[in-house]
Structure 1
Amino acid sequence: MAEQGVAEENVPMSSAQARQLLVDRIRSVGYAGTDAVEQAMRKVERHVFVPAVSIAEAYADDVVITKRDRDGAVSSSASMPSLMALMLDQLDIRPGMKVLEVGTGTGYNAALLATVVGDHGAVTSIDIDEKVVSGARVVLDNNGFAHVRTVAADGAIGQPDGAPYDRIIATVGAWDIPRSWYSQLADGGKLVVPLRWRGQSWSVGFDYLDGQLRSYSAVSCGFVPMIGQEDGERTEIISSDGFVQLVVDADQAITSESLVGVLDQEGVERWSKATIGGGDSFDGIWLRMSATDPGCCRLSAAPEAIQQGLCRPVIAHRDPALADATSVAYLTVRPRGSGPGGPQFELGAIGHGPSGDDLAQRLCAAISAWDLDRTAIPTVVAGPTGSHSGERGSGMRIEKTSTWLELFF
């Protein structure tokens, strides 16, 4: 009997069983929160869109890489199903709507969108890579989604033929919000976009009204960057050996020229008394800093820098930091015993340079403010470059090429 039981356990799941189990898991963490999104994910077969992987891999809650560029960097992929469900929840799509998707990928997300909007809705999916579009086209046609329109086009230009759209969703990372998206979105519509600023990336849900976007949700995420879009993110080296860099935006006067070697100067440690467990997220600190401090950026350190003791970031390649023309401070931790969930760590900052102590204290102040309400998310207002927000108060303004952002609590 034991041998029979083992044999039964090793029988592979069918694609249908694996799909239902995946959706059950996604629902258990609070995503696919609407009946329409849940039923679409239960119905649409993900494995036909990623035929190069096994059924188990197709229905794992993980990214499936489908294309790399000549340097080996990922240029196209099938996103984590839970993240897709979250973004579809943000989009609030309904039957009969017209939707523009920027970033066709495998075509799976377009199929989900088409299932939700139904026969009286319309989905247009665009991608700058013609091979990606043609590959998705074949799978869509062969699986009952011939009515989804696919177009090889630059996402920054959008697709004016079919506008205005009730919803626009980008499934590629965007540093900027193209002016075309403003003009192609219906007044009262919604935009969901994985948007980058100050070295971080958030899937932001925006309402569009009277020519401006106003956020109603934001969730930390990561996406393959949009190809063809002008990218205003810069990488500035700050260590003499080149192993430590800052990722900053075009509107920030933070450069390698005045910062190289700053980490060789004696560091100053400041501690916040706020603690986290090993699995706790601290992305909210970073988001708060971007809404309150003009020096907010990202520190990225190579393994060699950590091994040599040059710096002690929480996460080597993506650590929240503050910088000015001569100094830098970054987030760090130290052990603080154990709690109900396991080891605990106190959050703090290490500053280097003439104003390193001031920057470290500002970073600790942001940690303390976050610790009072770890779920607080700033409102993000956006509009085309040259327009005015109309908001009152002292929101942090971030200037991009085609758009500006204002963040405030």
Structure 2
Amino acid sequence: MGLRSRWARHGPGRSGRKETAMSTNTTGTAPEVLRAQMVERILAGQRLTPAVEAALRQVERHRYVPAAPITDAYNEQAVITHTFPDGAHLSCASGPTIVAGMLDALDVRPGHKIMEIGAGTGYNAALLATLASATGEVTTIDINSDVTAAARRNLDATGYGHVRVITGDGAEGAAEHGPYDRIIVTVGAWDIPHAWWDQLVPGGRLVLPLRWRGTTRAVAFVKRDDHWNSDWVFLCGFVPMLGQPGEQSATIDADRLVTLHYDIDQPIDITALYGVLDRDRLEVWSDASVGGEEPFDRIWLHLSTVHAGTVRIQADQRAVRSGLCTPAIATRSPALVEDGSVAYFTIRRRQESPERWQLGAIGHGPAGEQLAIRVVEQIDAWDRDRAADPHLRAYPTDTPVPSPPAGKLIVKPQIRLYVRYSSAGPALNQGL
């Protein structure tokens, strides 16, 4: 989320069709030059270990997306390789920056045994195999046979025939080839299956795009005695993993133009929210502002650590044009709901400096103003340290929690997730 959103996508599915664009290089630039430019672009924005940098320079990304123009293979974008019949994305090669970041956080060492959930094009598995060296072992799993068949062909054609490719449910893992030193998930996960806990060695690392309260972050977890403990969080967006229906949605206006997306553990009364946008509109503004290229996605994370009613609001452009609902990003912005009221994050140009955008909230309903004030409080908290990320701790549901840690409790079927900022106090220890 931000004035300029960047979302990397990658994931498996059930069925689809392949894109048929012919592979071309309209610039005439050699693939190795494009690959070097890709790596330099990544390094300009983040630090990488020498091993990850070397792997990115070595593995030929364009050979894993042969139907795409070679320049697209090395651009900062996801390359769609499979779609559902309705056109929805089924699988693709993730953008290079998020691929590099997740690999860096995974910390693969030579000799490691690795499980990847989401085979995609096979490119990430090739990078993993390069990092693990000849003494390591990589198993990649995808639920869709078309995806695994394509990954198998690509890996065989590029010298990575030793990578194991399995068609199956990634949520179940592959215990017969474990335990694993590292697990990486390249599809959006709403929950953390028990199988991944069971199949990872103590002290092992799990890196996955984890979704909560309507937003997704790549998170690196370390497996401790009885819980997952995070040490890295990164903005991302991925095609969702099948078989984890953790979210639901409903419209709240007569014309069905505004939709709330919320988690199944949130006891939200949608009936009480119907028509709330027609009630008095109250605006509350922060002194915080951003320029056109400055991200503000972490405000969503701050809200998720303090309010159980944090959701995603989505407004059709007709709702935006009419003024019914004007969130900061129409397709995906954070909102708070409570007692038949809603407040959502919004922006406006600053009159005294039109090149900057002022951040605030708009509330509707009996508690709309108070909810808007709470949104602005978290905007201000973000403004005090814009680079801060939350800490996450997750306990498998069959593991006792010795004493509730600080943070907002989010209950999922297979984990109990605690999310907090370092400044979170005891008052934030309550769940729904």
TM-score range, shorter chain: over 0.9
CA separation in 2, counterparts of 1:408 and 1:388?
Answer: 20
Residue identity matched to 1:139: N
How far off its partner does 1:83 sit?
A: 0.8
Which residue matches 1:22? 38
Which residue matches 1:290? 304
Task: Determine helix, strand or coil for the equivalent of 1:82.
Answer: helix
Which residue matches 2:225? 210
How far off its partner does 1:377 sit?
A: 1.5
Alignment CA distance shift 1:11-1:68 (3 Å): closer
Question: Which deviations, in whole Å up to 9, do the C-alpha atoms of 1:180-206 show, x marking residues without a partner?
Answer: 011011100000010100000000010
1:329 and 2:340 aligned: no
Alignment CA distance shift 1:225-1:393 (3 Å): closer
CA separation in 1, counterparts of 2:350 and 2:329?
Answer: 18
Which residue matches 2:277? 263
- Identical aligned residues as a percent: 46
- The runs of at least 4 consecutive aligned structure 1 residues that moved more than 2 Å come to 386-394
**Which of 61, 70, 77 does residue 92 from structure 2 map onto?**
77
Which residue matches 1:379? 391
Residue identity matched to 2:255: D
CA separation in 2, counterparts of 1:346 and 1:29?
Answer: 26
Q: Is the 8 A contact 2:221 2:231 kept in 1?
A: yes
**Which of 318, 325, 334 does residue 332 from structure 2 map onto?**
318
Residue identity matched to 1:368: D
Residue identity matched to 2:230: S
Alignment CA distance shift 1:299-1:145 (3 Å): same
CA separation in 2, counterparts of 1:30 and 1:232?
Answer: 32
Task: Determine helix, strand or coil for the equivalent of 1:156.
Answer: helix
CA separation in 2, counterparts of 1:260 and 1:387?
Answer: 39
CA separation in 2, counterparts of 1:221 and 1:131?
Answer: 25
User: 1:167-186, aligned counterparts within 5 Å?
Assistant: 167-186=182-201
Q: Is the 8 A contact 1:381 1:389 kept in 2?
A: no
Question: Which deviations, in whole Å up to 9, do the C-alpha atoms of 1:6-63 show, x marking residues without a partner?
Answer: xxxx8610111111111111111115x0111111110100111100011111111111
CA separation in 2, counterparts of 1:274 and 1:11?
Answer: 43
Which residue matches 2:21? none
Task: Determine helix, strand or coil for the equivalent of 1:161.
Answer: helix
Alignment CA distance shift 1:232-1:11 (3 Å): closer
Question: Which deviations, in whole Å up to 9, do the C-alpha atoms of 1:261-284 show, x marking residues without a partner?
Answer: 110111111111111112211111
CA separation in 2, counterparts of 1:391 and 1:239?
Answer: 42
Question: Which deviations, in whole Å up to 9, do the C-alpha atoms of 1:186-230 show, x marking residues without a partner?
Answer: 100000010100000000010111131011011111001112x22
1:194 and 2:209 aligned: yes
Gaps of at least 5 residues in structure 2 are 1-25, 422-432
CA separation in 2, counterparts of 1:143 and 1:338?
Answer: 57
CA separation in 2, counterparts of 1:389 and 1:190?
Answer: 21
CA separation in 2, counterparts of 1:338 and 1:71?
Answer: 46
Which residue matches 2:317? 303
Residue identity matched to 1:17: V
Which residue matches 1:51? 66
Q: Is the 8 A contact 1:243 1:302 kept in 2?
A: yes
Question: Which deviations, in whole Å up to 9, do the C-alpha atoms of 1:356-392 show, x marking residues without a partner?
Answer: 1111111111111111111222210012124334355
Q: Which has the higher contact order (CA 8 A, sep 6+)?
A: 2
Which residue matches 1:103? 118
Which residue matches 1:279? 293
**Which of 120, 136, 145 does residue 130 from structure 1 map onto?**
145
Task: Determine helix, strand or coil for the equivalent of 1:205.
Answer: strand
How far off its partner does 1:256 sit?
A: 2.4
Residue identity matched to 1:16: E
Task: Determine helix, strand or coil for the equivalent of 1:292.
Answer: coil
Residue identity matched to 2:29: M
1:253 and 2:260 aligned: no
Alignment CA distance shift 1:369-1:388 (3 Å): farther
State the TM-score, normalizing by the size of structure 2.
0.89
CA separation in 2, counterparts of 1:51 and 1:252?
Answer: 44
1:344 and 2:359 aligned: no
CA separation in 1, counterparts of 2:263 and 2:230?
Answer: 21
Q: Is the 8 A contact 2:269 2:340 kept in 1?
A: no
State the TM-score, normalizing by the size of structure 1.
0.94
**Which of 150, 167, 174 does residue 159 from structure 1 map onto?**
174
CA separation in 1, counterparts of 2:335 and 2:294?
Answer: 18
